[in-house]
Amino acid sequence: MEVSVIIPMYNEEDNVLITLKEVKKILKTCGSYQIIAVDDGSSDRTLELLEEYARENPELVVLKHPVNMGMGKAIRTGFEQAEGDVIVTLDADLSYEPQYITELIRELHQHHLDIVIGSQYMEGGETEDIPFIRLFVSKMANKIVGYALDRNISTVTGILRAYRKEVLDSIEIESTGTEINPEILSKAISIGFEVKEIPVKLKGRKLGESKIQFRSTTISHLLFTFYEKPMMLFGVIGLLMCLIGIISAVYLFYQYLMGTLDPSRPLMLFMVLMIIAGIQILIFGFVATQISLLKREIYIVQKENKLLRKRLK
């Protein structure tokens, strides 16, 4: 099998047939292929339509979850069944044109890459008919989460990607939500896989309703960022507390020079607590950063062990 395209679906009855037909049309030029549609516990006719289409189109593999388990879990379920040497992930609502599938694969092969990302935020990328709030939140999330990676990548949360199967076989994926996309990038980059972006256009949804919950998505991306770069959280908090303590100390010293200092003032204790607590939090952030670096070394060992087991088989 040359190509596997994974499409997670949740309550997408308006898009099922349109998306599958458009993707199949593009994949006819890609040699042998399979389309893996993962129904993530839909409550509408999504699963019914998928099964009807699969009866006449054997290249479609339909997988299902009994309940909604999240986009990340749906993608992981697709990865487990993917047989292609190249694995592509795609949205169900055609917010990215299926024609990008062939562009991603071509870039992957021509430049001997491991991951190719479709990026609407890099130079040459575009957005169209995206609500302002959603676009703003998405851009900020990509900038913040992107800072946690060791590469300058402008779109780290997008689903439009092509992977060599070796990449996904070499890492342990844990996420069940939208943070799966930055998680894969972080782990793949840590163990040396080559990643590149190509410019694409992201369009607003035409049919159905968006399943993105901005609050939970934003929180999950922030937690991922702090998990990858602990100093972003502990460093800011620690420095802020130290700064407050230093400002308090300067004010108290000024009062001492003016002869108006009252040693029994609560501000004296507050100053000491702020400085000591700030230093402790900075130290904690440093330790957490070392643990994060150690975790990346573990990814490399896991990759080597997986490759060794594969050779032994």
What CATH number does residue 79 fall under? 3.90.550.10
Is 226 domain-assigned? no
Beta strands in 85-212 (DSSP E): 86-89, 115-119, 126-128, 161-164, 195-199, 201-203
The verdict on 152 and 235 lying in the same domain is no
Helix, strand, coil shares, percent, the chain, to 5: 55, 15, 30
Of 185, 217, 249, the position where a domain reaches its end is 217
Of 164, 184, 217, the position where a domain reaches its end is 217
Is 224 domain-assigned? no
Report d(CA 166, CA 180) in Å as an integer.
17
The verdict on 88 and 122 lying in the same domain is yes
Is 246 domain-assigned? yes
The verdict on 135 and 240 lying in the same domain is no
The verdict on 71 and 128 lying in the same domain is yes
Residues forming a β-bridge with 36: 6, 61
Is 222 domain-assigned? no
pLDDT of residue 135: 82
* Nearest to 117, CA basis, from 127, 128, 108: 108
The verdict on 278 and 178 lying in the same domain is no
Domain span holding position 70: 3-217
The verdict on 58 and 7 lying in the same domain is yes
The verdict on 66 and 178 lying in the same domain is yes
Tokens of 123: 């130079």
The verdict on 116 and 185 lying in the same domain is yes
Of 183, 217, 251, the position where a domain reaches its end is 217
For 71-91, how does the pLDDT look when each residue is reduced to its tens digit (9 = 90+)? 999 999 999 999 999 999 999
Report d(CA 101, CA 106) in Å as an integer.
9
Q: Domain total for the chain?
A: 2
Tokens of 24: 């199949």
Is 58 domain-assigned? yes
The verdict on 199 and 59 lying in the same domain is yes
pLDDT of residue 313: 63
Is 223 domain-assigned? no
Is 225 domain-assigned? no
The verdict on 64 and 170 lying in the same domain is yes
* Nearest to 216, CA basis, from 185, 181, 190, 178: 178
The verdict on 251 and 188 lying in the same domain is no
Report d(CA 90, CA 59) in Å as an integer.
16
Report d(CA 230, CA 226) in Å as an integer.
5
For 160-186, how does the pLDDT look when each residue is reduced to its tens digit (9 = 90+)? 999 999 899 888 888 888 889 988 988
pLDDT (average), residues 190-194: 86
Radius of gyration of the chain (CA): 24
| pLDDT bracket for residue 296 (50, 70, 90) | low
Q: How far is CA 252 from CA 170, 240, 247, 269, in A?
A: 57, 18, 9, 11
